[in-house]
Chains A and B, each alone.
Chain A
C-alpha cells in the first residue's frame, strides 16, 4: 500500500460523488416510494460528507454546523415522508409511485 496517495480531500469527494450518483439512480429508477426515500437519504449523506471534508481541510466550523442541521432536517423529512407514504398506502393499497395518478380521495 506504499504506492497509494495519502488520504486527502479527493478521497472523500470521490466517495461522496459515488453516493450521490447511487442516490439519484434510486430516486430515478425505483417505483417503491420507500426505496426512493432511501435514495434521498443517500444523497443527504453524500452532501454531509462533502460539508465535513471541506470543513476539515479548511479548518473552519461552518461545515460541521451545517451538517448537523442537515441531519436534523433529514430526520424531520423522513418522519413527514413516511406519514405521507402510509396515507398513500391507505388510499391506493400500494406504494407504487407510478400508479398514483389522483390528488383527491
Chain B
C-alpha cells in the first residue's frame, strides 16, 4: 500500500471517529446518540488496526459493539417508552461544559505538540501482535488475567442481582 493511500485511509477513519463522537455528544435524541456511538467504536477499532494491534481491534468490535452498545440500547429502551416523543435529553451547564471542552482539548494538544521528549523507539511494533499477546497473558500478566476473570464473575452476579424484577421484601 502506498504511503498516500495509507494517509488517506487514516484520515478517513479519523474523521469518522471524531465526527460521530461529536454527533454522540451534541445530538439531543438518545437513540441517535447510541447509533452514532456505533460508528465511533468502529472508527476507533480501525485506528487500532493502524496501531498494529489487530487483536485489540477485534476485541473492540466484539465487546463494545456486540456487548456494550447492545446494553446501552437495552438501557435506552427500558427507560424510555419509544412511542412517546420525549426521547430527548436536556442539557445543563452548557457554558461551563463548553469551556471545559475547549480548555481540555487546547491544553492537551498544547502539551502534546510542545513535548519533544517522547523519544519513539527504533523498534516499533510491527505486524500482528496476537502471538505476543498470548505469551504475555500467560507469563507476565497472568495475575491480572485471573483477577479479571474473578471481576467479571462478580460483575455478572452483581448486575443480575441488581436488575432482577421481583425483589423480596425488606427482611432485615
User: B1 interface residue, CB < 8 Å from A?
Assistant: no
User: B85 interface residue, CB < 8 Å from A?
Assistant: no
* Interface 1/0 per residue, A14-44 and B, CB below 8 Å: 1101111111111011111011011101100
Please classify how large the interface on chain A is, using the bins under 10, 10 to 19, 20 to 34, 35 or more: 35 or more
A75 touches B68 (CB 8 A): yes
Residues of A in contact with B (beta carbons under 8 Å apart): 1-2, 4, 6-15, 17-26, 28-32, 34-35, 37-39, 41-42, 45, 48-49, 52-53, 55-59, 61, 64-65, 67-69, 71-80, 82-87, 89, 94-96, 98
Contact among A12, A83, A95 for B159, CB-based, below 8 A: A83
- Alpha-carbon distance A18/B51, docked complex (angstroms): 18
Contact among B37, B63, B92, B94 for A38, CB-based, below 8 A: B37
A73 touches B151 (CB 8 A): yes
The listed residue with most A CB atoms (<10 A of its CB), out of B56, B76, B123, is B56
The B61-93 residues at the A interface (CB cut-off 8 A) are 63-64, 67-68, 71-72, 74-76, 78-79, 89-93
B109 touches A17 (CB 8 A): yes
Given A12-B47, A69-B144, are A29 and B94 neighbors across the interface (CB < 8 Å)? yes
Contact among B7, B64, B104, B125 for A7, CB-based, below 8 A: B7
- Alpha-carbon distance A57/B51, docked complex (angstroms): 9
The B141-172 residues at the A interface (CB cut-off 8 A) are 141, 144, 148, 151-152, 155-156, 158-160, 162-163
